[in-house]
Amino acid sequence: MSRDSDSAGELRTVAVALLATLLLWNLPYGGFVLYPFKLLATWLHEMSHALMMTLTGIGLSGVEIYRDSSGVAYTASSGGPLATAIVSAAGYMGCSLWGAVILVATPTAKAARRVFLIMAALMGWTAVMVVIPVDGDYFGPWVVAGLAVAAILVAFLVPARWRVAIAHFVAAQACVNALLDIRVLLRPSQVVNGVDSPLASDAHAMAYASFGTTDRWAVWTWAIIWLVWSLLVLYIALRVSGSRALASVVRFGPATGSPRDGSDRDGRRRSPATAPDETVPSAPADTEGS
């Protein structure tokens, strides 16, 4: 397969993935189709928290993932305002960032296979070492292990074209879920595992760490900042992925000029006497204003 067809396929799959995501979110039973991808987005969200807990020295006690696709990451110790702010911001900012990374890192079927295998390894490890059961319910560890198996199956059994499409759909889901989940931060209370939770939301923790208050204006400030971040990350990822594909599909430069071959026909072709209306070959046509 040529580079041009690969790039054209990438551009198509990005567009189809985003369109399918938006359509499914607005269809009556679309949520059932998107449920596994929602759980994947929860895993990305909580693992972003877990990574920052480890890097800041707060430490990670464990991660819980529930049937309603909510999740909680527990710290091993308390931290200062800076560490708390970093950990709190990591969830929503990290989920959209991982989605963008997946989108940009999967231009070809071979790259998509590599990404799926890396994800499978990480999910398998966290299913055993990080995700913990909830009151004897092993839904969290089992569902993450199941997602790891699904990623391996996609990597090896799905045809190349569909593998790229699925990778882009996963990326689109991560970015869109990050955007949609931010809405819950504007609610007066958080729902975890189907019930109102006394735990502070990421925005509440961030507001207190940065402003020293959990007043609505402080919480909404961070919710809006994360919303803008998610939109910006998605926009940049689409520009990078789309521009890369488009740059290979559309060859910029003189459309009709052929390379000089050293023969006298080049002179005749460019001679004002033989081609009085011809434009200068070295100056590309001005298409900016068209």
Instruction: Tell me the C-alpha distance between 168 and 14, whole Å.
Output: 6
Q: Please give the model's pTM, rounded to 2 decimal places.
A: 0.77
Question: Which has more confidence, 176 or 107?
Answer: 107
Instruction: Tell me the C-alpha distance between 195 and 288, whole Å.
Output: 56
Taking residues 109-130, report their average pLDDT: 97
pLDDT, averaged across the chain:
79
Most confident option among 26-40, 156-170, 240-254: 156-170
Residues of the chain above pLDDT 90, percent: 46
Q: Is the pLDDT of residue 52 over 70?
A: yes
Phi/psi zone of residue 57: left (φ > 0), alpha (ψ -120 to 50 degrees), beta?
left
Task: Give pLDDT tens digits for 72-89.
Answer: 999 999 889 999 999 999
Taking residues 231-253, report their average pLDDT: 63
N-terminal to C-terminal alpha carbon distance within the chain: 33
- Give the confidence band of 9 by pLDDT, cuts at 50, 70, 90: low
Q: Is the pLDDT of residue 183 over 80?
A: no
Instruction: Give φ, ψ of 152 to 5 degrees.
Output: -65, -40
Residues of the chain above pLDDT 70, percent: 72
One-character DSSP codes across the chain: --HHHHHHHHHHHHHHHHHHHHHHHTSTTHHHHHHHHHHHHHHHHHHHHHHHHHHHTS-EEEEEE-TTS-EEEEESS---HHHHHHHHHHHHHHHHHHHHHHHHT-SSHHHHHHHHHHHHHHHHHHHHHTB--BTTB-HHHHHHHHHHHHHHHHHHHS-HHHHHHHHHHHHHHHHHHHHHHGGGGGSSSEEETTEEESSPPHHHHHHHHHHS---HHHHHHHHHHHHHHHHHHHHHHHHHHHHHHHHHHS--S-SSPPPP-SSTHHHHHH-TTT-TTPPPTTS----TT-
Instruction: Give φ, ψ of 131 to 5 degrees.
Output: -75, 130
Out of 70-79, 82-91, 179-188, 201-210, least confident range: 179-188
- Give the confidence band of 129 by pLDDT, cuts at 50, 70, 90: very high
Report the greatest alpha carbon distance in the chain.
89
Instruction: Tell me the C-alpha distance between 167 and 241, whole Å.
Output: 13
The tokens describing 234, both together, are 């998605």
The sign of the CA dihedral 151, 112, 230, 29 is: negative
To 10 degrees, the CA torsion angle through 26, 32, 38, 43?
Answer: 180
